[in-house]
Structure 1
């Protein structure tokens, strides 16, 4: 069985954002039911030195956009990190998924072999597109998706494993 770079990224990332949208639906319903300001959830974090829910979603967006851009050799859009409401986060997710939907499969031709360079605090890391997808894009994406889930769960939103898996 052969899986293309496109199949490993775009549909997977789109599915993650669909799951995230459903998590935000539950967060919104929870805030309304408990009569709390939704911004409490937007700003919630698991530890003082960790990113808030908004920060987790911003990183999810950045990871997805950068992956599509790097793997296709094109410029990904840049979004300012200024989301402060659930509506803002939903808009960010929509802009990201619109961008992903616009990246066509033929643009990924040769992406698995293409050398991808990522700038880090310690310099630059270069790897094949395949290695970049498997060792950075997907782990990083699911790390931030897991943290978004955990922040909501920690704050009392009734989400479970099946919600995270997209099966609820």
Structure 2
């Protein structure tokens, strides 16, 4: 179980993931500028939900978590309008804007609230904290990771840093500033998280 406030365990995490998603989709749009439909058709195996569906799931999990965690009512957004990469990117940015409207006081204190929702024909009952930590966060990361994998498979130049830097970048850069007088150390650190490093 989380030992940090519900807000800190949710909203910053979702915003970072959506920032990653927006940035890797932007790279994909540049990579496929002559054939943008290739992105929309991307899957890992035949019969799998294509890439746009996973983008929408990432967005929807973040949105629905607001209601499930704290009873915050949000508008329903149609899932059939994002038919271009640009619209998928806009969906990510719109979701981040929604999360920006949520303050800690809106979420914290609801950890023990009862949550009930249906998943795959089953009705789940848990606390708000359990819903976040055991369902929302893992599933959010699962679909985000699938989008990354699909784009890598399609040849988009992505590396570990594309996935990591939106979250740890400020801390890493702060460390670089501390050691900036050691150019050899700085060079090693820069190379260590270069986007050319493939994982």
Q: TM-score scaled to structure 2, two decimals?
A: 0.78
Residue aligning to 2:69: 71
Distance in 1 between residues matched to 2:45 and 2:3, nearest whole Å: 41
Residue aligning to 2:185: none
Residue aligning to 1:30: 31
Instruction: Give the deviation of 1:43 after TM superposition.
Output: 2.1
Matches within 5 A, 1:16-165: 16-32=17-33, 35=34, 37-82=35-80, 83-165=82-164
Instruction: Give the deviation of 1:77 after TM superposition.
Output: 2.3
Larger Rg: 2
Contact 2:26 2:89 in 1 (8 A): no
Q: Is there any run of 5+ residues in structure 1 with no aligned partner, and where?
A: none
Instruction: Give the deviation of 1:2 after TM superposition.
Output: 4.1
Residue aligning to 1:4: 5
- Structure with the larger RCO, 1 or 2 (CA within 8 Å, 6+ apart): 1
Render the CA deviation track for 1:30-53: whole Å, top value 9, x for unaligned: 113xx3x11211221111222111
Render the CA deviation track for 1:137-161: whole Å, top value 9, x for unaligned: 1100000000000010010001112
Contact 1:65 1:77 in 2 (8 A): no
Aligned residues: 165
Contact 2:70 2:128 in 1 (8 A): no
C-alpha RMSD over aligned residues: 1.6
Q: Is there any run of 5+ residues in structure 2 with no aligned partner, and where?
A: 170-194
Q: Which moved more, 1:2-11 or 1:58-67?
A: 2-11
Q: Which moved more, 1:157-166 or 1:59-68?
A: 157-166
SS in 2 for 1:150: helix
SS in 2 for 1:50: coil
Distance in 2 between residues matched to 1:109 and 1:8, nearest whole Å: 10
Which aligned segments of 4 or more residues in structure 1 are displaced greater than 2 angstroms? none
